[in-house]
Each structure stands twice: as structure tokens, then as C-alpha cells.
Amino acid sequence: MAGWGREIVTLQCGHYSNFVGTHIWNIQESTFLYDENPAAVVSKEINHDVLYREGRTMTGAVTYTPRLVTIDLKGSLNTLKAEGVLYDYHTMEDIKWEGDVTLHQEKAARKNQFLSDLDTQGMQPHVKEEGTSNMDSQSSRESDTAEFKGQVPPVQVSPGQQQESKQAKVYSLDESIDVWSDFLHGHLHPKTVMVIKHHSHDSDVDPFGLYTKGRSLMGKRDVAEDIENRLHFFVEECDHLQGFQVLVDFCDGFGGLGASLIESLADEYRGKGIMAVGVAPGSFSSSTLAMDNHRLINSVLSFDKLSEQSSLFLPLSLASSLWRKVGLPVKFQNVHYKPSLAYHTSAILASSLDTATLPYRVAEEPISLSVLTEALGNLGRKVSMLSTSFPLPFPNRGYLASVFGNYTQRPPWIPLTPHTHEGTAQPFAQSVVIRGVPAGRIHAPGRQPQNALESCRSVNEMLRCYLTGMYPRTLSSGLCINQPLKTAAPFPHIFDPRMSQEGFMEQWQRREEEAVESLPMMTSLQTSPAAQEMLTHLVKEGSKVDIRKCHGYFEDGLERDEYIETLNRLEALAHCYELCA
């Protein structure tokens, strides 16, 4: 099948990046298919081998884990073991010591109900038995993952068909999630989780809040070698590595660490695509003048280096503005989330990223990461933006034709990139993905077509028609996926009670024991003149800071001339987005 052997390695650099990443892996694992009937034909739209790898434990059990390196600080894992449980070597049993032993026992962290239930179900790797049915490679790998995780493989049903499978359990996790591992569904490879012991998570004594602290870490031999060894493990087993997708917290010290890491990737893996995604929470628990200045300086330095060294840089946050003053949270129709909860905001960002990255993860006719980033980052416009319809706003009993018909003056999506807005200016280029529209929800049956949209006979045809009408001067590509976004547990419950389990608005409310299990969605990953407003605002605010009064940066090697040159480069970058007369 087209698309095999086009591997991508993912890196998550920072605590909030790991929140976003955890939701992404949960979403993707919920889409794994398992065909119990070898004669059945199961359509697999997504090639999971792009991001996942197959392996075996010491006992020969098959595993399927993300090709992933996560980086976080000491104290950020809670109940998760950094080395995981798939390859448990029990090294303590081999230690021989005849002297006195002093035992220091630490109270075990308490697991929430979701993690406890996973343990009860028995999260053990599946051992493929002899005589099993003959399935294709991806189906085999996916079934291994589904079984060792103890999950029931999702069943695709047609619109209106009742699903007879057992009702999925509904969890209320808002008060029981402190760190990203508290809602991690699947297993990770032992090479995945890297804990930096030089700094502690949420430390008041030595906070990891400065870009330069992260940059200095890459100069430490033990840190650099650990990252390099983990990366090489995943890269060297790839047949045709196409590049990297890197999530980075750009508002704190991880901005410096992530920028240095991407610079190293660009130097060592020339010609490979690097999609850098900068993320920031929707709100911050505490704020002082010093913290605001640090967040601003970190953003200036991160935006410059991440855009310079990557193939494309995509900054994301649910805060409408971030720097001198954190703005109001982005609002979504029929979604009620808490901006203060990283568990909520990261779920929305992850859903949009999972959808927007489908063009290089689909099984049929994918485009490469390099082609996508080059098309969007043309003419030096390497800072992109992402907009989302979360979910696609279907009216009650409505159809896709009516959705598009309601948005002829403005698009049906909302920007997730701070300091940007959907104005009247046409994007330079965009990659649009629509997913989860059932065949019966395209247009009203038997109705005489009233316009060009209603004359379309497929989602793909209707999307092309809509983009041509809305963006006649934009280089647009469109992708249609039948599979909706999966929002099964542990996805947070943030949807209007009148939304059905399939993500469509109804006249009645769901029962309390029911959760929204999937959504129709639409995203636009685009290069737009709106990025100029964001960059100009960043330069303006960054120029107001007296860097000489921020002593911590100078102690870690930042010079005033370097900061001024950084502002000048960002100002030049902003000019790349000016519209030609």
C-alpha cells in the first residue's frame, strides 16, 4: 500500500507539550482497527506506521508504540515509570550486597479511576498466537496494540445504526489530573521518556522559566548525549525517515532547549522536514511583572530560532493574546471548556493538530512532510497558523451544504494562533482537512439544488467548491477523511449536553451516562497575512522590555546586542507577510 516506510519521529519538549502530545496519542490509538473476520474488507484511511513502530519484548510479545521522545523535568511523571512496563528487566533482583541496607520508602502516588481501571483490565502486551487469522501488516499491529491495552476496538457504524457493544464508561477526571501521565492510555517505549534531573517541575526555588536555562542544558554533556542516544535509536530503525514533528513549550525554559534541539536536528538531518509546533497554555496560574517579561522575552527568542531552524513553525494557544497581558480564551460554539485546565485546553489543540497533520499520515496518496512545509513556508514565510472548527458546526438536522452555506462571508473555523484573526485578507496558501461527515449528511435528499454547493455529490467535491468560492486567489489543497475525530475516554467532557454521541446537535440532551464519542471536524493549516500582526505585536512588546534589568538571562549568557538582533530578524520576518499592491 502507498505510504509505507515514510517514518516520522516525534519529540515533545516541555510539560504542556506533553499534555498536548498525550491527547494526540490517545486519539490515534482510539482509531486502531481490529478485524476479527479475515474475509471482511476494512478500510484503513490512516497509516499509523508513519508515527508508530512495531517491536517485541524480551518474551517475544508484540508491541506497537509511538516513535517518540518526550522531555520533561523531575517530578512530572506521577505514577508513570520513565522506563515503562513493556520491557521490565527487574534489575534490582540482580544486585548483590552484603553490607547494611537502609530502606527509604516513599508513599506511592495515587492513581485516578481511569488509570486504576486500565490496571484492572490488564494492560499487558499481546502475544500473537500460532494459527491466528491471516491479516495484513497494519491490521496485525493494530490488533496487538488494542489487545494488550485491554481496550475494545472501536466499531464503525452507519448513520442511524445502533451500536450494540457495551456502553463505554464515562469518567470525570477534571479534579484528578495533575500531570500528563495521569491520562495516558497506551504504553510508551523505554527509550521515550527522558527526565531532566537538573530542574524540578513546578519548583519555586529554581524555576525553569528562562529561555537561556534551556539553551544551557543542551551544553551539558549528559543531557545532550541522552537526547542523542534516544533519537538515534528511533531514527536508525527507520527505512525512509521523512522528518520530525516537534512540540515545544515556547514560554519557558523549554523554548531554549527545544530551539537548540531543532538546530541540532537541522544540522544532522539536512533535507528532512521539521514541523515545529510551539504551544502555550490558555492561562497561567500566577502572574507578576517579572513573569510577564520572562514570557515575552522567551517568546521573542523562541519565535526567532524555531522559525529559523525548522521547515515550518506553528505557534498555538487558546489564549487570544499571550505576552504583556494574557488575553481572553478562544470561544467555540457548543464547547464549554475551562481555560485554567491544561487537560481541557490541550485536548482542543491536540484534536486540531491530529486533524491538520492527516495529509502526511493518510494511507492513500499522502504528501510528504517536506512538501507540506515547503508549500506553506514559501518565500521565507516560515511562521504558519492553524484554524479549527471544533466541532464542524452542523445545525440541528442540518447538512454539510447548509454548513458551508452559512459561512460564505467568513470561514467556519477559529484561529488557534494568538494575536491573529480571520480578516478579509486571503491566505497565501492553506491545507484544509475535513473529517467525519457521514454520507447521509452531505445535502438534503430529494431537494432540488439551489446553488453550486447543493449540486455537489461528495464531501470532496463540496470542499473544493467551497474553497474555490471563498479563496479564489489562495493556493489551497483539500483532504477528506471519513473517519471522525475520536473523543472516547479519557477525553474531557467539554461538549454541550445537546450534542449527540456522534458530535451533531440535537433537540434533546444526552443521558448522563453517555459521552460524545466522535466529532466531525475541519482545520486549515495556512500561511496568512494575519501572521504579520502577530509578529509585529511581538516585536513591539519585546522592544519595550529593558533586557538589562532581567539579570537571569545575562547570567546564562544572553547579551543585549543578541536580543536586539533577534528583534530585528523578527521584524524582517514580519515584512515577508506584506501584501503586494
| Structure letter (DSSP) for residue 128 | P
Integer Cα distance of 284 and 280 in angstroms: 9
Q: How confident is the model at residue 166 (pLDDT cuts 50, 70, 90)?
A: low
The band of 212, judged by pLDDT with boundaries at 50, 70 and 90, is: very high
Answer whether 188's CB lies under 8 Å from 68's CB: yes
Q: What's the mean pLDDT in 53-67?
A: 87
| pLDDT cut 90: percent of the chain above it | 64
Q: Helices (DSSP H) in 427-502: which residue ranges? A: 459-470
Give the residue carrying C-alpha cell 506521577: 78
Q: What is the pLDDT of residue 395?
A: 81
Residue indicated by cell numbers 514541523 = 275
Average pLDDT, the chain: 85
- Taking residues 211-223, what's their average pLDDT? 93
- Rounded mean pLDDT of 58-80? 88
Instruction: Please check the confidence at residue 159 and state whether its pLDDT lies above 90.
Output: no
Tell me the pLDDT tens digit for each residue of 297-348: 999 999 999 999 999 999 999 999 988 888 999 999 999 999 999 999 999 9
Residue 519 has pLDDT above 50, yes or no: yes
Q: Which domains does the chain have, with CATH numbers?
A: 8-35+45-85+142-153+165-360 (3.40.50.1440), 386-529 (no CATH), 534-575 (no CATH)
- pLDDT at 390 exceeding the cut of 80: yes
Query: pLDDT > 70: what percent of the chain?
Result: 84
Query: Which position has the higher pLDDT, 119 or 175?
Result: 175
Question: Which band of pLDDT confidence, cut at 50, 70 and 90, is reported for residue 158?
Answer: very low
**Residue 545, phi then psi, degrees to nearest 5:** -80, 130
Give mean pLDDT, residues 82-88. 66
The SS3 of residue 337 is: coil
Strand partners, 478: 432
Residue 126 has pLDDT above 50, yes or no: no
The DSSP bridge pattern shows strands 62-66 and 52-56 to be antiparallel
Instruction: Give the residue with greater pLDDT, 342 vs 104.
Output: 342
Which pLDDT score is estimated for 84? 64
Residue 149 confidence (pLDDT): 34
Q: Is the dihedral of CA 260, 265, 268, 270 positive or negative?
A: negative
The answer on pLDDT for 144 being more than 60 is no
Of the listed ranges 1-10, 154-163, 174-183, 304-313, the least confidently predicted one is: 154-163
Tens digit of pLDDT for each residue in 525-542?
999 999 999 999 999 999
Please indicate whether residue 556 or residue 516 has the higher confidence score (pLDDT).
516
Quick check: 266 pLDDT over 90? yes
Over residues 20-36, the pLDDT tens digits come to 999 999 999 988 865 55
Query: Which has more pLDDT, 98 or 115?
Result: 115
Per residue in 425-484, pLDDT (tens digit) is 799 999 999 999 998 999 888 778 888 998 999 999 999 999 999 999 999 999 999 999
pTM above 0.85, yes or no: yes
Residue type, 232: H
Average pLDDT for residues 46-53, to the nearest whole number?
A: 95
Map grid coordinates 523578527 to a residue: 570
Beta partners for residue 247, in sequence order: 12, 277
Q: Is 265 exposed, middle or buried (0-12, 13-18, 19+ CB in 10 A)?
A: buried
Q: Is the model's pLDDT at 129 over the cut of 60?
A: no
Cell numbers describing residue 438: 457521514
